[in-house]
């Protein structure tokens, strides 16, 4: 059956399509829909293992077939013979402009998508300044297609090859995949608009200075919907649609990444074996302490008189030590260095800075990397009077138990209340 062995039809149609490449895609698809059943029938008449040569014998070359379609269908003749263009030297000066327009667009889209991803996954609108870097290049490519049109770009050997490759893949499935994707296009423009506005609003939640971002996102949303309605007839709009789509892909993936991270952190632990959600480890793979959403480097304990307790060992409610990486000063380099991990707190403060020849720390003439440890408590705590005894509170009883492993959460929570 012709569907099992569509090789000859596929090759023939791909060449017809290439010869009609300057016509709107939707129109070419309509033409090929008329032609395809006929060719499929011809191929099955030719029998098993039909070659494209067999079709060419009956119908003439795909190029002449395309030319006949053009003249009878009232389509404009091709400006320059495609055979001449393909044969032309690849590096000829006429190629530089279209190359710039094509690869510039590809490069910008990649960059824009990456910065959009980084911005959405870190929730930092400032990262979007990176996108601005690509705008001059993008503006250059837009200027090129506005003044010269898309035809020089469509005739680049790499673009022709890419198009031929996509066409073959398409004809493999009798055009169903592309037709299906094409039917989703209107939904994509709307999705883009929602994603852009949603992103702008979401950024505004976390950062008030993102207020400047929202109008830009709104404008982009309006623009993409407008572009979506006109892109079928105006291929130059690809130079707006593709970068905005790349941006949306970036923020959607970045946002999804962020969302899964947030869910993994806030939800109950799905992995009974691991006690800490991923993402809160330092560079040595040790867990870090967090309070709310901020990470904690050090913990100080005070007794009821407000006297600092020089040495406490912290455990969680299941008796697991809250161990973190311990650092000391490394004399030769002047930086801090890991010496192991434990759950003893407070840690000495490690100050990294510079010294001069007199040994003055962080002086004007300092040049040598230096590091010093400070075991002092950097603040004093005022413990509210009367807070230490709370007879009515049932949580006081666990602290009275003579267990060797203290339950810090209950006792520590008491004085601060």
Q: In angstroms, what is the minimal distance from the CB of 71 to other proteins?
A: 7
Residues 6+ apart with CB under 8 A from 99: 156
CB count within 10 Å of CB 359 equals 10
User: Which whole-number Å values give the CA distances from 12 to 7, 170, 398, in the listed order?
Assistant: 9, 13, 83
Q: In angstroms, what is the minimal distance from the CB of 21 to other proteins?
A: 17
Q: Which of 57, 73, 146, 352 binds other proteins (CB under 8 A)?
A: 73
Is the Cβ of residue 38 or residue 230 nearer to other proteins in the bound state?
A: 38
Is the Cβ of residue 168 or residue 407 nearer to other proteins in the bound state?
A: 168
Q: In angstroms, what is the minimal distance from the CB of 179 to other proteins?
A: 10
30 in contact with other proteins (CB under 8 A): yes
Q: In angstroms, what is the minimal distance from the CB of 7 to other proteins?
A: 15
Is the Cβ of residue 72 or residue 397 nearer to other proteins in the bound state?
A: 72
Q: Which candidate, 178, 244, 192, places its Cα nearest to that of 26?
A: 178
Rounding to the nearest 10 degrees, give the CA dihedral for residues 160, 184, 24, 217: -90
- From 24-32, 154-162, 253-261, 364-372, give the range in contact with other proteins by CB under 8 A: 24-32
Tokens of 346: 């407070």
Q: Which of 33, 53, 57, 316 binds other proteins (CB under 8 A)?
A: 33
Residues 6+ apart with CB under 8 A from 79: 22, 151
- From 31-39, 233-241, 249-257, 364-372, give the range in contact with other proteins by CB under 8 A: 31-39
What SS3 state is found at 4? coil
Is the Cβ of residue 33 or residue 53 nearer to other proteins in the bound state?
A: 33
Q: How many residues bind other proteins (CB under 8 A)?
A: 27
69 in contact with other proteins (CB under 8 A): yes
Q: Which of 11, 52, 66, 252 binds other proteins (CB under 8 A)?
A: 66
41 in contact with other proteins (CB under 8 A): yes
Q: In angstroms, what is the minimal distance from the CB of 183 to other proteins?
A: 12
40 in contact with other proteins (CB under 8 A): yes
34 in contact with other proteins (CB under 8 A): yes
Greatest alpha-carbon pair distance for the chain in Å reads 103
- Spatial contact of 278 and 257, defined as CB atoms under 8 Å apart: no
Query: How far from the centroid of its chain's Cα atoms is residue 266's Cα?
Result: 22
Tokens of 220: 């982009």
The span from the first CA to the last CA of the chain, in angstroms, equals 81
- From 34-42, 91-99, 254-262, 380-388, give the range in contact with other proteins by CB under 8 A: 34-42
Tokens of 354: 């510079």
Q: Which of 47, 49, 72, 92 binds other proteins (CB under 8 A)?
A: 72
* Distance from C-alpha of 236 to C-alpha of 31, rounded to nearest angstrom: 23
* Distance from C-alpha of 287 to C-alpha of 314, rounded to nearest angstrom: 14
Radius of gyration of the chain (CA): 34
1 in contact with other proteins (CB under 8 A): yes
* Distance from C-alpha of 106 to C-alpha of 238, rounded to nearest angstrom: 11
| Per-residue binding letters, 307-326, with other proteins (x by CB under 8 A) | --------------------
Q: Which of 46, 56, 59, 299 binds other proteins (CB under 8 A)?
A: 59
* Distance from C-alpha of 26 to C-alpha of 235, rounded to nearest angstrom: 12
Q: Which of 5, 7, 24, 35 binds other proteins (CB under 8 A)?
A: 35
Q: Tell me whether residue 386 is exposed, middle or buried, using C-beta atoms within 10 angstroms of its C-beta: 0 to 12, 13 to 18, 19 or more.
A: exposed
Show contacts with other proteins in window 128-187 (CB under 8 A): 174-175
Is the Cβ of residue 35 or residue 328 nearer to other proteins in the bound state?
A: 35
Residues that bind other proteins (CB under 8 A): 1-3, 27, 30-31, 33-38, 40-41, 59, 65-66, 68-75, 174-175
């Amino acid at each position: 059956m012709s569907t099992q062995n569509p090789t000859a039809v596929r090759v023939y149609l791909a060449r017809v399509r290439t010869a009609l490449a300057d016509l709107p895609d939707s129109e070419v698809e309509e033409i090929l829909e008329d032609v395809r059943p006929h060719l499929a029938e011809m191929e099955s008449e030719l029998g098993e293992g039909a070659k494209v040569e067999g079709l060419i014998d009956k119908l003439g070359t795909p190029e002449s077939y395309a030319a006949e379609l053009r003249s009878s269908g009232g389509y404009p003749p091709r400006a320059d013979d495609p055979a001449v263009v393909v044969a032309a030297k690849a590096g000829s000066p006429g190629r530089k402009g279209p190359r710039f327009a094509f690869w510039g667009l590809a490069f910008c889209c990649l960059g824009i998508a990456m910065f959009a991803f980084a911005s959405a996954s870190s929730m930092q609108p400032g990262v979007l300044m990176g996108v601005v870097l690509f705008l001059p290049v993008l503006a250059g490519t837009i200027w090129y297609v506005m003044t010269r049109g898309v035809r020089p770009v469509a005739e680049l050997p790499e673009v022709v090859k890419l198009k031929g490759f996509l066409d073959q893949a398409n004809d493999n499935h009798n055009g169903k995949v592309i037709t299906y994707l094409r039917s989703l296009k209107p939904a994509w423009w709307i999705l883009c608009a929602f994603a852009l506005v949603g992103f702008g609003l979401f950024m505004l939640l976390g950062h008030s200075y993102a207020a400047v971002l929202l109008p830009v996102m709104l404008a982009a949303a309006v623009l993409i919907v407008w572009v979506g309605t006109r892109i079928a007839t105006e291929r130059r709009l690809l130079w707006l649609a593709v970068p905005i789509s790349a941006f949306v892909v970036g923020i959607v993936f970045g946002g999804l990444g962020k969302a899964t991270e947030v869910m993994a952190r806030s939800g109950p632990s799905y992995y009974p074996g691991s006690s800490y959600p991923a993402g809160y480890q330092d560079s040595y793979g040790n867990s870090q302490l967090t309070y709310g959403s901020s990470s904690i480097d050090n913990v100080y304990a005070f007794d009821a008189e407000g006297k600092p307790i020089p040495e406490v060992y912290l455990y969680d409610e299941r008796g697991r030590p809250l161990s973190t990486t311990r650092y000391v000063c490394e004399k030769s380099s002047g930086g801090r260095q890991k010496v192991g991990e434990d759950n003893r707190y407070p840690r000495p403060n490690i100050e990294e800075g510079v010294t001069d020849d007199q040994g003055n720390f962080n002086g004007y003439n300092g040049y040598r990397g230096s590091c010093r440890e400070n075991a002092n408590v950097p603040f004093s705590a005022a413990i509210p009077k009367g807070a230490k005894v709370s007879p009515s509170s049932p949580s006081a009883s666990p602290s009275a138990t003579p267990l060797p492993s203290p339950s810090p959460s209950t006792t520590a929570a008491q004085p601060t209340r």
